Amino acid sequence: MLTHSDMLKLKRWNTPTIYNGWESITKGERIAIRCNRDETKDFMPQMGPMIGYAVTVTCQPGNKDHFPDKTKYNEEYRRYVASMPGPKIVVLQDLDSPARVIGSFWGEVNANTHRALGCVGTISEGAIRDVDEMTNAGFKALARRLCVGHAYSMPISWGEPVTVFGCEVRSGDLIHADKHGFMVIPEEDHKHLVEAVAFMDENECLTTIKAARESMGKEYEEILNALSKAGSEFGRNVQEMKKRLGV
């Protein structure tokens, strides 16, 4: 697991920047990254990015057949959440969604309850409600939409793989998320991630972005030459970084 310091550093960058760092060091295929394939909506963008380990759960607010066991299921589910390492992001598959959205698992009560259990937010394929109250609890949410009621919301199963926004997520996966969406960071790429993200962010600023900014107002041929030179320098820097890290 990453250290608390590493997690804080990664939380400072947006998710596309995390992707850039990951892409520079992974031995995997870049298009195979597990991330949202469908659009998500960040209902608390002012809270910035979140990072944490996934705890998975399913619900089906439109099916009241599960409801008689609500107390038993809630108690067992909360013990599961409490047993997982933090910080945690609850990844919820709403079995009613996307065909229809009947009710929300998330609201003021569940946001505060999960904060007490070490969770920093949720990625929910269904709906959320009580947006202001959830924000006040410090609980970030990426979801499909808003709704007014909870219907028969309760945990049905947990700790099993779920599929949200076209992406499979497993309990314990490291997730980074913000207003752009979310990505699962493979365990084999955790070791050098912080250094790679910081390097790629600085590399862009010192080469391609710098060249573009300094070229404004110049003749097009001069601009094109400057951009080409900066692109080559950017690539060389990446290769030197990869060699230094042994990736």
Nearest to 50 by CA among 145, 115, 125, 130: 115
Of the pLDDT bands very low, low, confident and very high (cuts 50, 70, 90), residue 127 is very high
Percentage of the chain surpassing pLDDT 70?
Answer: 100
The reported pTM is 0.94
Average pLDDT of the residues in 134-149 = 97
CATH annotation of 34-185: 3.50.30.40
Percentage of the chain surpassing pLDDT 90?
Answer: 91
Distance CA 121, CA 54 (A): 10
Nearest to 121 by CA among 143, 101, 102, 103: 143
Of the pLDDT bands very low, low, confident and very high (cuts 50, 70, 90), residue 66 is confident
Given a cut of 90, whether residue 1 has pLDDT beyond it is no
Distance CA 222, CA 112 (A): 57
Per residue in 15-29, pLDDT tens? 999 999 999 999 988
Which string of DSSP letters, residue by residue, matches 72-121? HHHHHHHHHHHHS-SSEEEEEEETTTTT-----SBSHHHHHHHHHTTEEE
